[in-house]
Amino acid sequence: MIEKLRGIAIFATVVDQGTFRAAAQHLGLAPSRVSETISDLEKDLGVTLLYRSTRQLSMSQEGRVLYEKAQDMLKAAESGLDMINPNSTEKSGILRVTAPAFVTQTDLMDVICNFARTYPNIRLSLDFSDRTRDLIKDGFDIGIRAGWLKDSELLTRNIGKTGRMLVGSPDYIATRPTAKHPNDLADWDWIHFSLRSNQTEFVDQNRQSVEVSGSSNLTVNSADSLYEFAARGLGITAIPANLARRGIARGDLVHLLPDWTLKPLGLHAVWPNQSSRENITRLFVRFIVADNLHNDW
């Protein structure tokens, strides 16, 4: 039984790492030993767990079932070890994180760097993309989401917020009458973000709000592309404040209606309820929250 449990743990590591070689390096074993262990486990169970090819590995249906149960087994083992030694700082494992691309231009990067330095035995695999990833399907342990979350089965924790600013290029703005109110912008050219509503809410100093839905011939799916098209004079757009300040400092962009504010984007950490790496996932979330919960990134 002990050998079988060991084989299951190695099998789960191969799936997590993606290749026999990567799993062997992670476990400190020879690749041949890892391959032999999986073959022995398959013979013992009488099923094929992994389909091998020269380029990649993929799980059989039986492999998927075993991997799901292996996650529960490893989670229970890790939890037990932490209960024995709850003050241990020697956290280890691989943590796969996905976050919006604009995060790379924020102070949150400093926090991630500090986490990596504090826990050198945790291997971080970071995916920066403005496309919303499916955590379970795409194999991520934790996601950072910007905006307003819909109800889901994922566990969530607020980790801060990021402001937004309405901007356009100096050349484009020069072609338009001076805007004094959000409604003056209704017939301007807008560059829309595909993952957000076309409605833009403005709030004045008296906390009165106005919603504007500008016309648009251009829709994109990343904050960086919003910046680039706005800087090239194709219209106005709302972008994260850190990107806006960079463009304003360079002279690429102008802040429109500075007396009005836009609703900030909430930043949330989300992760599956049955996370196989619950301990280091929660450790990562707590680290971020402790560093900067109430300030803008």
Residues contacting residue 127 through CB under 8 Å, at least 6 positions apart: 96, 97, 98, 99, 133, 140
Residues contacting residue 170 through CB under 8 Å, at least 6 positions apart: 251, 253, 254
What is the average pLDDT value for the chain, to the nearest integer?
A: 84
3-class DSSP state for residue 200? Answer: strand
For 154-168, the pLDDT digits (tens) are 888 888 888 899 999
pTM recorded for the entire structure: 0.60
Q: Record the tokens describing residue 157, joined without a space.
A: 């924790």
Residues contacting residue 19 through CB under 8 Å, at least 6 positions apart: 56, 57
Per-residue pLDDT, averaged over 43-53, amounts to 88
The enclosing H or E element of 99 equals strand 93-99
For 210-228, the pLDDT digits (tens) are 888 877 889 998 888 999 9
How confident is the model at residue 294, as a pLDDT?
A: 43
Identical fold at 2-84 and 164-263? no
Report the greatest alpha carbon distance in the chain: 78
Per-residue pLDDT, averaged over 183-202, amounts to 87
Residues contacting residue 4 through CB under 8 Å, at least 6 positions apart: 41, 44
Is the domain spanning 164-263 CATH 1.10.10.1100? The answer is no
3-class DSSP state for residue 224? Answer: helix
Is the domain spanning 2-84 CATH 3.40.220.10? The answer is no
Per-residue pLDDT, averaged over 21-45, amounts to 89
Ordered by start, the domain boundaries in the chain are 2-84, 93-143+272-291, 164-263
CATH number corresponding to 93-143+272-291: 3.40.190.10
How confident is the model at residue 88, as a pLDDT?
A: 52
- Please say whether the beta carbons of 123 and 245 come within 8 A: no
The enclosing H or E element of 218 equals strand 215-220
**266 bridge partner residues:** 161
Query: Position 205: which residue type?
Result: Q
Rounded CA separation 238/211 (Å) = 13
For 120-140, the pLDDT digits (tens) are 988 899 999 878 888 878 888
For 51-110, the pLDDT digits (tens) are 887 667 888 999 888 988 887 777 666 656 555 554 555 677 888 999 988 888 788 889
